[in-house]
Amino acid sequence: MAKKPTPLDRLLGRLDHLDSAGLTTLVQRLARERGLLEAVLNTVQEGVLVIADNGGIEYGNAAAARLLGLSEGALAGAQLWRVLPGLRQTLEPNLHGAGLRPEVVSRELEVTYPQRRFLRLHLVPFDRDPAEAGGLRRFTVILADITQEKLSTAELIESEKISSILLLAGGVAHELGNPLNSLTIHLQLLGRKLAKLRPTGDNASARESLRICQAEVERLDGIISNFLEAIRPRPPDFSDVNPAEVLEEVLRFQGGELENRGIKVEVDLPAEPALILADRNQLKQVFFNLVKNAAEAMQPGGALRVRSRRDDESLFLLFGDTGSGIRQEDMARMFQPYHTTKPGGHGLGLMIVHRIMRDHGGQVGIDSREGVGTIVSLQFPLKHKRVRMLEH
């Protein structure tokens, strides 16, 4: 079906028949209409950008310039990837759809300049033929400031989390703490008595049973520790940390379990260290939880892949597994306390990961497809960036 011409198309089609006075009138009319359109767009509180599929900004209204901390003059001609560092990794694949029409994309992001705020971004493709625009697709980007909404929601959720966790964990610690201590002491006494006996087949069986009991007591103690960690989070003790070294240590510690499960681990990290300011022990806890979750989601023969990317501002670590994936209806609750999709899970691991990443000025995201697998992405500010933020 032929495209119906617009009034502007019909007017431009008569250009060859206009005299100088007519051309002047046409230019004045177009200028008035452009001025009216820009005036309307500049009254909108949301930021509006027009970008090409290479990330170049062709237009931005006053609200967009304000939200991004730039002058209106500096906005046109700038690169979206430089204005919003870290966005390229998640948006660029949607701009280049391998010939497919890209879908509408929504993201929430945190910016730190000119002040810390949260933005909601919508990327909407133009309904037009790229051939008409020199081969480039164009997209509308709509930015909304959701800082107050985010902070209010976060405060409410945090308050509810703390109340529920305090209530449950206090009861768990009271009911299980003393019996576990008693069990530990008596298991140690049994171990000493067995050590004094002459080795026999029966003794070996008893030692194995004792080892299993001690391991189960340690597991229960770990559950209590997770509750207490969620209740009484410690502020990070920042120091220079190379995440690759911490990850290697965690994988070495969990190597036996991964091998027993028949899980292959592939790590692709740059040889050049990327330093971040972090609490080494808390970072270790993040990696431990993510590797453990990935392992428990996979069957024997699965693969855990860890990749790294970086730009001028941030370091990205991506943990991908070939597990069962996460149902879409569960995605929104993944960071909520006690929500778990695993039998026997306590539902605090990802909540602790989210809190630690937030305390480190970073972000965590989850992309999953049921039956295919899950990718958890961690974004850390690089050391030099965080130093500038702290100084500011």
Integer Cα distance of 44 and 50 in angstroms: 15
pLDDT of the residue at 36: 75
pLDDT winner (highest mean) among 97-111, 294-308, 316-330: 294-308
More confident residue, 303 or 274: 303
**Confidence check: pLDDT of 130 > 60:** no
Q: Do the beta carbons of residue 93 and residue 118 sit within 8 Å?
A: no
Q: What is the pLDDT of residue 304?
A: 93
- What integer is the mean pLDDT of 332-344? 58
Q: How many other CB atoms sit within 10 Å of the CB of residue 184?
A: 15
15-24 residue pLDDT tens: 666 677 777 7
Report the share of the chain in percent with pLDDT over 90: 8
Per-residue confidence at 391, pLDDT binned at 50, 70, 90?
A: very low
Of 311 and 290, the one with more pLDDT:
290
Question: What average pLDDT does range 211-218 have in this prediction?
Answer: 83
Tell me the mean pLDDT in the region 145-166. 69
Helix (H) or strand (E) holding 266: strand 264-268
Superfamily of domain 44-145: PAS domain (3.30.450.20)
**The predicted structure's pLDDT at residue 54:** 79
Contact 298, 263 (CB under 8 A): yes
Rounded to an integer, the average pLDDT of 187-208 is 81
Is residue 114 reached through a cis peptide bond, with omega within 30 degrees of 0 on the bond before it?
yes
Task: Yes or no: say if 383 and 277 are a contact pair by the CB < 8 Å rule.
Answer: yes
**Of the candidate ranges 79-83, 127-131, 246-250, 304-308, the one whose mean pLDDT is the lowest:** 127-131
3-state SS assignment for residue 28: helix
**What pLDDT shows up at residue 378?**
92
The pLDDT score that the predictor gives to residue 387 is: 46
CATH 3.30.565.10 holds for 239-391: yes
Q: Classify residue 329 by burial, with Cβ atoms within 10 Å: 0-12, 13-18, 19+.
A: exposed
Predicted local confidence at residue 59, as pLDDT: 86
Query: Measured between alpha carbons, how far is 165 from 61 in angstroms, rounded to an integer?
Result: 45
Residue-level pLDDT at 321: 93
Q: How far is CA 155 from CA 109, 160, 179, 339, 347, in A?
A: 18, 9, 36, 19, 20
Average of per-residue pLDDT across 311-317: 86
Residue 34 has pLDDT above 60, yes or no: yes
CA–CA distance, 265 with 253 (Å, rounded to integer): 13
- Position 97 scores a pLDDT of 53
Q: Which residues pair with 321 in a beta bridge?
A: 304, 374
Cβ neighbours of residue 309 under 8 Å, at least 6 residues apart? 89, 315, 316, 318
Which range is least confidently modeled, 322-326, 333-337, 339-343, 376-380?
A: 339-343
Instruction: Give ∠ CA 247-365-89 in degrees, rounded to 5.
Output: 90
**Which token pair is 127?**
């309904």
pLDDT value, residue 230: 56
Residue 380: Cβ-neighbour burial (10 angstroms; 0-12, 13-18, 19+): buried
Per-residue model confidence (pLDDT) at position 319: 93
pLDDT in the model for residue 145: 87
The answer to which of 55-69, 148-162, 194-208 has the lowest mean pLDDT is 148-162
The pLDDT score that the predictor gives to residue 173 is: 66
User: Which pLDDT score, from 0 to 100, does residue 99 have?
Assistant: 41
Among residues 305, 312, 295, 314, which one has the least CA distance to residue 269? Answer: 305
What mean pLDDT do residues 160-187 have?
71
pLDDT digits (tens, 9 = 90+) for 252-290: 888 888 888 899 999 988 777 778 889 988 898 899 889
| DSSP labels, 129-179 | -GGGGTT--EEEEEEEE-HHHHHHHHHHHHHHHHHHHHHHHHHHHHHHHHH
Question: Span 186-205, mean pLDDT?
Answer: 81
- Summarize pLDDT for 73-112 with one digit per residue, the tens: 778 778 888 878 767 766 666 666 544 444 567 777 787 7
Q: Domain locations in the chain?
A: 44-145, 151-231, 239-391
Instruction: For residue 392, name the pLDDT band (cuts at 50, 70, 90).
Output: very low
Instruction: List, in sequence order, the alpha helices (H) in the chain.
Output: 7-12, 20-43, 62-68, 72-75, 80-83, 88-95, 147-196, 201-231, 243-260, 280-296, 328-331, 349-359, 383-391
Find the mean pLDDT for residues 197-204: 76
